[in-house]
Amino acid sequence: MRFLAADQAVIRAEAARIWFRIPRNDDDVVIAKLMDDAVPSIAVALLKQLGRHWSSMSNLRRTALLDLLANQAKSPAIASVLFVRLVIIDRVEHFGENPPYELLTSLMPHVLQSLPASISFIDGRFANVVEEAIRSGCREELLPLLRLWSETIVKRLKSSQLSEFELAIVDLLVEALSVESRGPIIEQLLSVNDTGALMVFISWLIKYWDELADVERSAVLQKLLEPRGDQRWLRAVVLTSNAPPPTLLHALVGRDKLDLTTAEGRHLLSEQQFDAAFYTYIGWPQPLWWYATHHKGTKFWIKAVNDLASDPANPLFEVALAELMRNPGADLLAAIQTVPDAALNRVFDSLAAHSRSGKLYERDLVSSF
């Protein structure tokens, strides 16, 4: 107890680590003393001991220490150090082969409540650890965490542009929660006014289309039918999906499949809609690549890129050429070989631009003719 009262935090943290390393009972006085000792090093020491000795602790002991850490997490400084450790709870080298995901489900909601809205999930660790928790069997106990994540997304979108990693919540909602639990969260996400975020959300909802309830499918359709200025970009996600739901496709273009030629597709869609879908498919310009809604592998758009790269009369000619230059090969050579002689200077300019960026050497292609 004397060391727990030391002036230096590092001494108190080491004392706490040693104290909780040994299974104990009836140490309410120690726990009460640490309740208000909001020092990051102490919180880290407690978390490590919880992780290492979780399986040998009684439920009563687990609850007492979780309550202690939850109370300490009211401090933004402590919430920050807990966050960077909880997102690696799936790492064997830190928490063993069978990590106690109860630490994540119990503590992360308190952590998220204390962290500033500027907290970033850009490196993907947060989404990854939640996914691992689901694989381990966690389900409805993730509701508080997922609800707060959604609220954080909504707050951050008011001042920041978020990446796909930071927006990758919809698949976790569908995998972990019941329709009743996730319904209000999905409704909240679809209510944001950020085009890129909505593209990501709709893309994931389409991927899990068969697992959605009718009310969720209806919400997606209604969002796509809203008279919005960015309507073509939201619809572009449907048009470029691997397997566009026939009900959505029919509502948007009057067809159940995009089994069309490029010319027929351009006639079916407005010019603005076709162009938006084309850019969404290739993921250019930014931030379309960052949202990871690109290159879904649909036959129609693969063929459209090849066709447009062979048509100098089309405004998308150079863009389509640049897309084929990402992975130069037979498709690029075939497209160039069909270009009229009068437009070869434009082809050469595009090749030269890419060679200067270090992505392609036009000499290798020219020598192939």
For 246-288, write each residue's pLDDT tens digit.
999 999 999 999 999 999 999 999 999 999 999 999 999 999 9
Where b means 16+ CB within 10 Å and e means fewer, 284-304 reads: eeeebebbbbbbbebebbeeb
**Confidence category of residue 358, pLDDT binned at 50, 70, 90:** low
Q: Tokens in use for 25?
A: 């009972």
What confidence score (pLDDT) does residue 353 get? 81
Q: Omega before 287 cis (within 30°)?
A: yes
What confidence score (pLDDT) does residue 10 get? 67
The pLDDT of residue 368 is above 70 = no
**Confidence category of residue 362, pLDDT binned at 50, 70, 90:** very low
The pLDDT of residue 365 is above 50 = no
| 340 burial via Cβ count (<10 Å: 0-12, 13-18, 19+) | exposed
The answer to whether position 75 is within a domain reads yes
Determine phi and psi for 135, rounding to 5 degrees: -60, -30
Cα distance between the two ends of the chain = 83
The answer to whether position 78 is within a domain reads yes
What confidence score (pLDDT) does residue 182 get? 98
What confidence score (pLDDT) does residue 3 get? 42
The answer to whether position 88 is within a domain reads yes
Q: Are 94 and 88 in contact (CB under 8 A)?
A: yes
- 19-24 average pLDDT score: 68
Question: What residues make up the domain containing 58?
Answer: 1-119
The answer to whether position 60 is within a domain reads yes
Where b means 16+ CB within 10 Å and e means fewer, 248-260 reads: bbeebbeeeebeb
The pLDDT of residue 28 is above 60 = yes
Q: Tokens in use for 160?
A: 């920041």
**Site of tokens 């790492």:** 91
Query: Measuring CA to CA, which residue among 144, 239, 229, 244 is closest to residue 195?
Result: 229
The answer to whether position 115 is within a domain reads yes
Q: What is the overall mean pLDDT for the chain?
A: 89
Identify the weakest region by mean pLDDT among 56-65, 75-84, 193-202, 219-228: 56-65
**Confidence category of residue 46, pLDDT binned at 50, 70, 90:** confident
Q: Which residue has the higher pLDDT, 55 or 226?
A: 226
Q: Tokens in use for 350?
A: 């595009």
Quote the percentage of the chain above a pLDDT of 70. Answer: 88
Q: Are 89 and 95 in contact (CB under 8 A)?
A: yes
The answer to whether position 359 is within a domain reads no
Residue type at 240 in one-letter notation: T
**Of 87-101, 208-222, 324-338, highest mean pLDDT:** 208-222
The pLDDT of residue 1 is above 60 = no
Q: Which residue has the higher pLDDT, 5 or 258?
A: 258
Instruction: Identify the helix (H) or strand (E) that includes residue 133.
Output: helix 125-135
What confidence score (pLDDT) does residue 194 get? 97
What confidence score (pLDDT) does residue 109 get? 97
**Residues near 225 by beta carbon (within 8 Å), at least 6 away in sequence:** 251
What confidence score (pLDDT) does residue 356 get? 63
**Residues near 318 by beta carbon (within 8 Å), at least 6 away in sequence:** 346, 350
Quote the percentage of the chain above a pLDDT of 90. Answer: 67
Measure the CA–CA gap between 269 and 291, rounded to whole angstroms: 23
**Of 35-44, 270-279, 326-335, highest mean pLDDT:** 270-279
Cβ-defined contacts of 345-352 (< 8 Å, 24+):
346/312, 346/317, 346/318, 347/321, 350/318, 350/321, 350/322, 350/325, 351/325
Task: Please state whether 223 falls in left (phi above 0), alpha (psi between -120 and 50) or beta.
Answer: alpha
Residue type at 286 in one-letter notation: Q
Q: Which residue has the higher pLDDT, 347 or 179?
A: 179
The answer to whether position 258 is within a domain reads no
**Residues near 82 by beta carbon (within 8 Å), at least 6 away in sequence:** 43, 44, 47, 69, 73, 107, 111
Q: Tokens in use for 297?
A: 């592998």
> By three-state DSSP, how is residue 368 classified?
coil
The answer to whether position 102 is within a domain reads yes
The pLDDT of residue 64 is above 90 = no
What confidence score (pLDDT) does residue 61 get? 84
The pLDDT of residue 366 is above 70 = no
**Residues near 16 by beta carbon (within 8 Å), at least 6 away in sequence:** 4, 34, 42, 45, 46
The pTM for the full model equals 0.88
Q: Say how many domains are in the chain.
A: 1
